Homo-oligomer: A and B are copies of this chain.
Amino acid sequence: MTTLSPGGTAVGPRKVRRATMNDVARLAGVSIKTVSRVVNDEPGVHPSTAERVLAAIDQLGFRRNLSARNLRRGSSTGTIGLVLEDVGNPFYSGVTRAVEEIARLRGRQVISGSSDEDPGRERELALEFCSRRVDGLLIVPAGLQHSYLVPEMRAGTPVVFLDRPAGDVVADTVLVDNIGGTIEAVTHLAAHGHHRIAFLGDAPDIFTANERLRGYREGCVRAGIGYHEELVVMGPHDEHTVTSALRRLQHGREPATALVAGNNRITVHVLRALAGAAERPALVGFDDFELADLLSPPVTVIAHDASALGKAATDLLFARLDGDNSPPRRVVLPVRLVPRGSGEVRA
């Protein structure tokens, strides 16, 4: 790491008090209310007066204090709170982007935070956002207890849950079709002749992981290949656990010839574990990911759209802000199987 001293227009170290409307008013020789009128484009200000005011604003570098404004107006703070699992995860950053996009169209800023799957952290973030009087809250729930939000919701802050439902509160929720997706994955593999299909899922206390497990089971039953517990490996996964799970699944008495991976992270771990392996089981991953089509073989996935998820949730939120009082809705977004090769291997 190198440190250089740059050249150019420097900003003096002298720290100046920030100008207020009062300062502007004094400089322009008008009352503070007139400044307010100019700043807010209210009518009834003589053009020449407005010009003087604008000049003063420019000279002082005045910028109106939104804290004060929000306090006085009491209504909207122009912010949306977004609590997700991890902004660094491409899936959630896609969601974030979509949320930001729509918020922008509606003149709102997004404040976001990562819960890291920790219910306490989620709560802390959500309540912090409420203290900031966000206009609405979008939450990817980490736990199952959300009654702490009831006072906020009663006070008029709309809340939409994303990707997973809340535990003990009824509110708008946007999900993807986890069960349908995994059923389709299993059906697809079975149609290619596999009857020993394994499932690697995330920790079963995570809603989506559990749903996908249910879909897997249902898929097995429908395909007539039966549900075999020894083919399921749940739990928080890292590269190591996935590798050893795979070894076990592939080398038992009746080895698995196909695999369903429960989310994008697990899929990547599987790919890494299988890299260079002589015999590769057929694979379908839940969640699409970039470059899946460029791997060899290309990875077949159950795809769903992060930005669609973000958009649906944000639309729902703004509908509430626009006064929609209808009962809470649960929206389930479709998924689709994208066959690319890795899932079309014949048993």
* A residues adjacent to B (C-beta < 8 A): 1-18, 60-61, 63-68, 70-71, 77, 79, 86-90, 92-94, 96-97, 100, 104, 109-114, 127-133, 147, 150-156, 165, 168-171, 173, 177, 268, 271-272, 275, 289-291, 294-296, 307, 312, 325, 327-334
Tell me if A4 and B330 are in contact (CB < 8 A): yes
A3-B152 in contact (CB<8A):
no
A149-B170 Cα distance, complex, nearest whole Å: 45
A11-B150, A155-B16 known; A109-B128 Cβ under 8 A: yes
- The reply to whether B97 and A155 contact each other, CB–CB distance below 8 Å, is no
A327 to B17, CA, bound (A): 21
Question: Which chain B residue has the least Cβ–Cβ distance from A298?
Answer: B275
Contact partners of A329 in chain B: CB under 8 A? 3-5
- Set of chain B residues within 8 Å of A1, measured between Cβ atoms: 312, 331-334
Q: Do B93 and A155 touch (CB < 8 A)? A: no
Q: How far is the CA of A171 from the CA of B131 in the complex (A)?
A: 32
Is the CB–CB distance between A2 and B331 below 8 Å?
yes
Contact B170 A7 (CB under 8 A): yes
The winner among A66, A114, A329 for most chain B CB atoms within 10 A is A66
Query: Which residues in B have their C-beta under 8 angstroms from that of A100?
Result: 87, 112-114
**Which 6 pairs of residues, A with B, have the shortest CB-CB distance?**
A61-B151, A88-B97, A93-B93, A8-B170, A2-B332, A18-B155
Please, which residues of chain B bring their CB within 8 A of the CB of A92? 93
A308 → chain B, closest Cβ, in Å? 9
CB-based contact A152/B88 at 8 Å: no
Q: Are B330 and A63 in contact (CB under 8 A)?
A: no
The reply to whether B67 and A4 form a contact with Cβ atoms under 8 Å apart is no
Q: Could you say which residues of chain B place their CB within 8 Å of the CB of A10?
A: 170, 327-328
30 pairs from A and B in contact (CB 8 Å cutoff)? A1-B332, A3-B329, A5-B328, A6-B173, A6-B328, A11-B150, A14-B154, A17-B155, A63-B131, A63-B151, A65-B71, A67-B68, A67-B132, A67-B133, A86-B97, A87-B87, A87-B96, A88-B94, A88-B96, A88-B307, A93-B93, A104-B113, A109-B113, A109-B129, A109-B132, A110-B111, A110-B113, A268-B290, A271-B291, A289-B291
